[in-house]
Amino acid sequence: MKEENLNPLILKMAKDLMKVKTSLPLSVAVATANYRCASIAGQLKVMIDTKSGFGATPANLYSLVLAGSGVGKNSSLILIDRFYFKDAFDYMSNSVYPQFKKKALAQLESDGNERTIHSWAKSLSNATDSGLLAYAESYFLCGVGSICLELDEVSNSILSKADLFTSCLSPYDNGDFSPVGKRSDSDALNITGLSLNLFAFGNTERLFSGDLVEHNFRKLLAEGYSRRLIFAEDNVAASIRTTEEIIQEMDSSESIAKERETDRVYIKSLLSIKNMNKVIPLSREAFIMFASIKAEGDVLLSKNKGLAQSAKIDIAERNFKTAKLAGIYAFMEEKDEVSKTHMMQAFEVVQDSSKVLQRITIEIPQHERLLEAILLEEKPCTAQHFLSYPFIPSSWTRKIEELLVLAKELSSDRGYIWTTTVRNGVDYYEVKAKDIKRERILKEVDDKEKKEVIKRKMTEQELIDFLN
């Protein structure tokens, strides 16, 4: 993504994070800033009206950050809160929500309802399906508050929290939380218009290892999350820093926190009655761009029919997530409508998201995975050992032979050295990358031998001429 096309406030937040966490890539820093701004809008139940006939939608955001260990995914949330959002969250926790909760409890008491109301939480990290609904009911009764769900490693939740992901589908579009159908929930509420923000972290190696986690994750994307999530990715390993550089980062953190006091006060001021339940419509220019993004998506799909299903869904519906993000930008600037500029700034992020999604949805053939896995083995292995790999079912005792044939052909194409050793009737397989130094020495020997052959041929010819 290009910095000059990003929202100025978001870019400012991202740059501050990158000064303190030098290993943090721009895309991850921007995703962090977007999520925190969405959480502020969500506390006040701000809505976006796309004027497309579907009514208002919550100003919320679903994000998935794919990055390696050590880039500062978690610490970036702590830092951005300290720089920009601490005062707003403290105000929400200590003043705003307690007042609304007190009024809600008084109303329940007068109605003879013994329902309990949860305290406000800045984020939920290990929520269950029923726990999510309990917080939704509390915020709905109070009339203020937003659920901010943060998943530290999404690969750990794909299998264990399948119901949770299913429950988060509808709230993205309309803020509706349907009650769980259980006998014990006879007093459950039908919640509408409540904002839910999702910020998930993931490691591509764990998500795409070819096992059941990858299968379920791809299924999750194809069933609706690809059009909801904004993706950010960085595969660059954390850089090695000197002591002086670390000291400079720590000093920068302290100075930035002091310099951003005015910004913290401003963001806190957004938590006001005038912004409660605010509906921000698209301007006419923004609406035209909303429609043009949809039209351009249809053209892209017609020209790229080989895309994965999840990538197709994303391109077809990315005008919607663009409008949501643009609405959050408009709210943070206290604007009464979403401008074309807001849409352009948001679309810069969404376009980058689409590129990430298209990259991660490319499935790697199993024989290619097998070849890469054999390369990592330190000693020759048998076909039985390969059946223990997570991407190969243990029942494929016959098909593994087919994969080995394909893997061998691929190794030849890539210039690897494939060795098969038979011992006691068992085949052992080993793959090594070519030794460049050894290849150079062999080439020199070959060249020398060729010269000797040419020299011998010339001598023989001279001998024949002499005899004649």
Q: How do the domains of the chain map onto residue ranges? A: 3-360, 366-432
Q: What is the mean pLDDT of residues 174-187?
A: 64
- Asked whether the predicted pLDDT for residue 337 surpasses 90, the reply is yes
Query: Per mean pLDDT, which range of 110-114, 154-158, 205-209, 258-262 is the poorest?
Result: 205-209
Q: What is the pLDDT of residue 216?
A: 86
pLDDT score recorded for residue 111: 86
| pLDDT band of 239, cuts 50, 70, 90 | low
Instruction: State phi, psi for 116 to the nearest 5 degrees.
Output: -95, 155
pLDDT band for 457, please (50, 70, 90 cuts). Answer: low
For strand 47-49 and strand 56-58, is the pairing parallel, antiparallel, or unpaired? antiparallel
Residue 82 carries which DSSP code? I
Residue 395, pLDDT above cutoff 70: yes
To which H or E segment does residue 200 belong? strand 196-202
Residue 175: pLDDT above 50? yes
Q: Check residue 287 and give its pLDDT.
A: 96
Helix (H, G, I), strand (E, B) or coil at 319: helix
Place of tokens 């490693």: 153
Counting other chains too, the contacts that 214-223 makes at CB distance below 8 Å and 24 or more residues apart are: 214/391, 216/158, 216/159, 216/162, 217/154, 217/155, 217/158, 218/310, 218/361, 218/363, 220/158, 220/165, 221/310, 221/357, 221/361, 222/308, 222/309, 222/310, 222/313
Between vectors from CA 193 to CA 270 and to CA 88, what angle results, nearest 5°?
Answer: 20
Among 2-16, 187-201, 379-393, 408-422, the minimum mean pLDDT is found in 187-201
Average pLDDT over every residue of 103-131: 88
Percent of the chain having pLDDT more than 90? 47
Class of domain 3-360: alpha beta
Least confident range from 50-59, 231-240, 385-394: namely 231-240
Residue 181 pLDDT greater than 60, yes or no: no
φ and ψ of 338, to 5 deg: -85, 125
> Is there a contact between 351 and 325 (Cβ–Cβ < 8 Å)?
no
Can you give the pLDDT at residue 114? Answer: 82
Mean pLDDT of 326-353: 96
Whether 461 shows a pLDDT value over 70: the answer reads no
Residue 408: pLDDT over 50: yes
The predicted model scores a pTM of 0.83
Q: Is the dihedral of CA 452, 453, 458, 460 positive or negative?
A: positive
Residue 252 has pLDDT above 80, yes or no: yes
Highest-confidence range of 62-71, 123-132, 324-333, 370-379, by mean pLDDT? 324-333
Query: Contact 18/256 with Cβ under 8 angstroms?
Result: no
User: Cβ distance 132 to 164 under 8 Å?
Assistant: yes
Query: Where does residue 340 rank: exposed (0-12), middle (13-18), buried (19+ CB within 10 A)?
Result: middle
Asked if 40 contacts 28 with a C-beta cutoff of 8 angstroms, the reply is: no
In this predicted structure, the answer to whether residue 196 has a pLDDT above a threshold of 80 is: yes
Residue 311, pLDDT > 50, answer yes
Stretch 433-446: mean pLDDT, rounded? 68
CA distance 49 to 65: 27
429 phi and psi angles, rounded to 5 deg: -115, 140
Q: How far apart are CA 61 and CA 37, in angstroms?
A: 9
Task: Identify the CA nearest to 57 among candidates 168, 225, 193, 223.
Answer: 193
Buried b (16+ CB within 10 A) or exposed e, 138-157: bbbbbebbbbbbbbeebbeb
Whole-angstrom distance, CA of residue 160 vs CA of residue 75: 25
Of the chain, the percentage scoring pLDDT greater than 70 comes to: 90
> Residue 440: pLDDT above 90?
no
pLDDT the model gives residue 185: 56
Q: Please state whether beta strands 62-67 and 47-49 pair in parallel, antiparallel, or not at all (unpaired).
A: unpaired
The Cα–Cα gap between 270 and 328 comes to 12
Looking at residue 212, its pLDDT comes to 83
| pLDDT confidence band for 183 (50 / 70 / 90) | very low
Among 124, 321, 322, 359, smallest CA distance to 225 is for 321
Is 167 within 8 Å of 132 (Cβ atoms)?
A: yes
CATH of domain 366-432: 1.10.10.10
Mean pLDDT across the chain, nearest whole number?
A: 86
Pairing of strands 147-151, 62-67: unpaired
Q: Measure the CA–CA gap between 164 and 278, rounded to whole angstroms.
A: 28
Q: What's residue 152's pLDDT?
A: 82
Q: Phi and psi at residue 16, in whole multiples of 5°?
A: -65, -40
